[in-house]
Structure 1
Amino acid sequence: MLSVLSPAKTLDFETPSETRMATQPDYLGQSRQLIDILRDYSPQALSQLMGISDKLAGLNVARFEQWQTPFDADNAKQAILAFQGDVYTGLEASRWSEDDLEWSQSHLRILSGLYGMLRPLDLMQPYRLEMGTKLENPAGRDLYAFWRERLTQDLDRAVSESSGDRVLINLASNEYFGAIDRKRLGADVVTPVFKDAKNGQYRIISFYAKKARGMMSAWMVQQRLEKRDDLKAFDLGGYRYNAAMSDHDSWVFTRETQ
């Protein structure tokens, strides 16, 4: 069984890594193709392409210019420790043991617009490139065309090679999981949904839902979860599995107002 997450816009390359364990991303050749395309963009053009401020565009133009291989401890950082943001606040990977990090390598993946798909300990350099970006490339008009076939095949293989049930726990956003051709996955897909009670109704509240995705993924790693039904025991942050609101593919976890 394997879980999949989205990346984060917020990055931390200042805090020293807590581990020396590191691996190389599988798709650096494809990443370089995208970098070569992005290097042709001026800050103004990148701002328009990505819908970001001129300041952020200038920062990322500089990042693309500085991007280079090989990746090592001096110019890159493990993805699970570099990404920050709501999901990764819930994940708290900096508190994981070495055994947790090692186990996660075969049970957790992070989808990425630039790197395709990352294992937790894969090194990466700072970037911003969301999966939904309409970046023209040799495969088509956007990053979905560039990544979909490759990521679908390799994610399915990663689920097969992980231990336990042949199930993919989808904790990624719709934008990122949209890069996967779900119909071509041989694995079953379970998508957890987190809802909070508000004004007498259960609703998805983005900040809490994102944090809960991280908490669930960390819990799966630390519990060495390998059976689909064991996921129903998740109870961190006050969430509980709600059988009445769930179906075969969408598992709803609810909690009362904090």
Structure 2
Amino acid sequence: MKIIFSPAKDMDFSKKVYSEDLFISEKTKGILKEISLLSKENLKKSLKLSDNLLDDVYDYYENFYEKPFFRAIDLYNGLSFRQLDKNFTEDEEKYIKDYLIILSSLYGMINGLKYISPYRLDMNAKIKVDNLNLKKYWIEEYNNINKNEKIFNLASDEFSSLINRENYEFIDFEFYKIKNNELKTHSTTSKKGRGILLNSLIKNKIENLDELLKIEIENLIYREDLSSKNKIVYILNN
């Protein structure tokens, strides 16, 4: 089993690591080379950055190889990641190492404990490497998970759509809120639900779907009547 998860643009710089070196793939180096050729103004256009973000993102890439570095699961600080209790035990870190894959547009498929340097880049950035946009550039690596692996899909469509579902047993998760007696979903609801569920998977060290469906998760209500073999539905209750 593997759990796939989306990265985040927001970052938390509080858990710095100076003792580890940065190891990145040749594919990541290829993207960094293309970014290094951009002027500050072209970086702004290619990454669709606001004036407020431009200086920070420019500095990320200018100082990319300089310490401190950060563990990916600590650095990402979007809504999904803010649902995690990041005071991980040794057993929980082993679980993360064994099961969690974060899908990044800069680093490719990375484990949550991998050391990374801060960056900002999404799959729709106007950057080409080897004459390929970022989605085409990464699609082969994104399909390097062992065939027939069971995948808990907690990633957004932006990333998970690059994986060929025919090669794997995908379990999708959907999250809703009840408003005016109707089921409503929203990106905020989905992000929050994914984070709550990932936190529960880690804390309970869940290894299969049967184990997951037996536990109660605070703020998530499992709706068996809306679920199927490959789609699990939860109602967000906060």
- CA shift, 1:239, in A, is 1.6
How far apart in 2 are the matches of 1:97 and 1:88? 17
Does residue 87 in structure 1 map to residue 83 in structure 2? Answer: no
- What does residue 75 of structure 1 align with? 68
Query: Retained in 2: the 8 A contact 1:9–1:84?
Result: yes
Does residue 221 in structure 1 map to residue 196 in structure 2? Answer: no
- CA shift, 1:247, in A, is 2.6
- What does residue 169 of structure 1 align with? 152
How far apart in 1 are the matches of 2:191 and 2:216? 15
- What RMSD over aligned residues (CA atoms) do the two structures have, in Å? 2.3
Count residues with an aligned counterpart.
238
TM score, norm. by length of structure 1:
0.83
The percent identity for this pair of structures is 24
Query: Retained in 2: the 8 A contact 1:191–1:250?
Result: yes
Does residue 152 in structure 1 map to residue 143 in structure 2? Answer: yes
How far apart in 2 are the matches of 1:101 and 1:215? 17
Query: Retained in 2: the 8 A contact 1:167–1:228?
Result: no
How far apart in 2 are the matches of 1:130 and 1:2? 22
How far apart in 1 are the matches of 2:75 and 2:69? 9
**Aligned residue runs from structure 1 range 87-236, under 5 A:** 87-93=80-86, 95-138=87-130, 140=132, 142-153=133-144, 156-157=145-146, 166-183=149-166, 185=167, 187-236=168-217
Answer 1 or 2: which has greater strand percent.
Answer: 2
- CA shift, 1:7, in A, is 0.6
The runs of 5 or more residues in structure 1 that have no matched partner are 161-165
How far apart in 1 are the matches of 2:100 and 2:215? 17
TM score, norm. by length of structure 2:
0.90
- CA shift, 1:211, in A, is 1.8
Letter of the 2:5 counterpart: L
- What does residue 52 of structure 1 align with? 49
- CA shift, 1:65, in A, is 1.7
How far apart in 2 are the matches of 1:209 and 1:237? 16
